[in-house]
Amino acid sequence: EPEVTQTPSHQVTQMGQEVILRCVPISNHLYFYWYRQILGQKVEFLVSFYNNEISEKSEIFDDQFSVERPDGSNFTLKIRSTKLEDSAMYFCASQGLGNTIYFGEGSWLTVV
Amino acid sequence: SQQGEEDPQALSIQEGENATMNCSYKTSINNLQWYRQNSGRGLVHLILIRSNEREKHSGRLRVTLDTSKKSSSLLITASRAADTASYFCVPSSIIQGAQKLVFGQGTRLTINP
């Protein structure tokens, strides 16, 4: 079964450093998402992306965050200057023509 | 976007027993999706049920939807240790296009050997 793949699975970064999380959505999917889950808390929506632009973003998704689909297959989340509170599991997800949204295994980010 | 409220918050049963988890939501929906999350892992899609469907099956999973009561249930039959996970229901009113899913706290299911 096709799946969403994410890299890296784990990353430790210094506060203030830039981080790029990468995702390969399911082929032919149209809608792409990033969610995050701080340890012990709910899964939170960050951003949705369609037709090469952001369709919706949450309050969490401030100017420090950006998304890009650079080559038609990858979908990236960039955090420009990481803060301690950015430590979380980040999930990429994709959706085709139907309503089902498929999630990746996540990238665990630790900011120290 | 709306959040589903899962009940109970935690459920512990013996292996082989059936597990039933309930979900309630507030406003009308187009579909409702159930997800599973093993500790520290990703979200696995289990079943999507549409508002015009009352019941759906997938292997040992049975999902029901009662739109008049704004509720859904997930039944796992003949539970296994590997079913230990958190389960989330996520309603959506979007018919087509991008959906902002709002996750609740989920039901934490523990299967005891």
Average pLDDT over residues B55-65: 98
| Those residues with Cβ within 8 angstroms of residue B62's Cβ, 6 or more apart along the chain or in another chain | B55, B56, B74, B75, B77
pLDDT for the residue A5: 97
Residue A2 reports pLDDT greater than 80: no
CA distance B99 to B4: 14
Residue B1 reports pLDDT greater than 90: no
- Inter-CA distances, A39 with A25, A50, B45, Å: 24, 28, 21
Residue A74 reports pLDDT greater than 90: yes
Residue A80 reports pLDDT greater than 80: yes
- For the stretch A17-72, pLDDT in tens is 999 999 999 999 999 999 999 999 999 999 999 999 999 999 999 999 999 998 87
Q: Which class would CATH give B5-112?
A: mainly beta
Q: Which domain holds residue A41?
A: 5-9+16-96
Chain A nearest CA to B100, separation (Å): 7
A108 assigned to some structural domain: no
Return the residue in B39, B86, B99, B107 with the most chain A beta carbons within 10 A, the one to mutate for interface testing.
B99
Residue B21 reports pLDDT greater than 90: yes
The SS3 of residue B1 is: coil
CA distance A44 to B100: 10
Burial of A112 (0-12, 13-18, 19+ CB in 10 A): exposed
Which B-chain residues 32-91 have CB contacts (< 8 A) with chain A? 33, 35, 37, 40-45, 48, 88
Domain count, chain A: 1
CA distance B104 to B32: 13
CB atoms within 10 A of CB B84: 18
pLDDT for the residue A46: 98
A34 assigned to some structural domain: yes
Indicate which CATH number applies to the domain containing A56.
Answer: 2.60.40.10
Using alpha carbons only, give the angle A54, A58, A59 rounded to the nearest 5 degrees: 130
Judged by CB atoms closer than 8 Å, whether chains meet at B94 and A89 is answered as: no
SS (H, E, C) A27-72: CCCCEEEEEEECCCCCEEEEEEEECCEEEEECCCCCCCEEEECCCC
Average pLDDT over residues A12-19: 98
CA distance B54 to B51: 8
| CB contact burial A13-31 (16+ within 10 A = b; e otherwise) | beeeeebebebbbbeebeb
CB proximity A38 to B under 8 Å: no
A41 assigned to some structural domain: yes
Residues of B in contact with A95 (CB under 8 A): 98-99
- For the stretch B70-96, pLDDT in tens is 999 999 999 999 999 999 999 999 888
pLDDT for the residue B95: 83
Domains of chain B by residue range:
5-112
| CB contact burial B45-59 (16+ within 10 A = b; e otherwise) | ebbbbebeeeeeeee
Question: What's the whole-number average pLDDT of chain A?
Answer: 95
Average pLDDT over residues A88-99: 95
pLDDT for the residue B94: 87
Q: How confident is the model at residue B66 (pLDDT cuts 50, 70, 90)?
A: very high
Which A-chain residues 73-112 have CB contacts (< 8 A) with chain B? 89, 91, 93, 95, 97-106, 108
Residue A1 reports pLDDT greater than 80: no
CB proximity A48 to B under 8 Å: yes
CA distance B47 to B61: 8
Q: How confident is the model at residue A73 (pLDDT cuts 50, 70, 90)?
A: confident
Question: What's the whole-number average pLDDT of chain B?
Answer: 96
A103 assigned to some structural domain: no
CA distance A90 to B91: 21
Average pLDDT over residues B12-30: 96
A107 assigned to some structural domain: no
A49 assigned to some structural domain: yes
The number of angstroms, rounded, from the C-alpha of B31 to the middle of its chain's C-alpha atoms is 12
CB proximity A9 to B under 8 Å: no
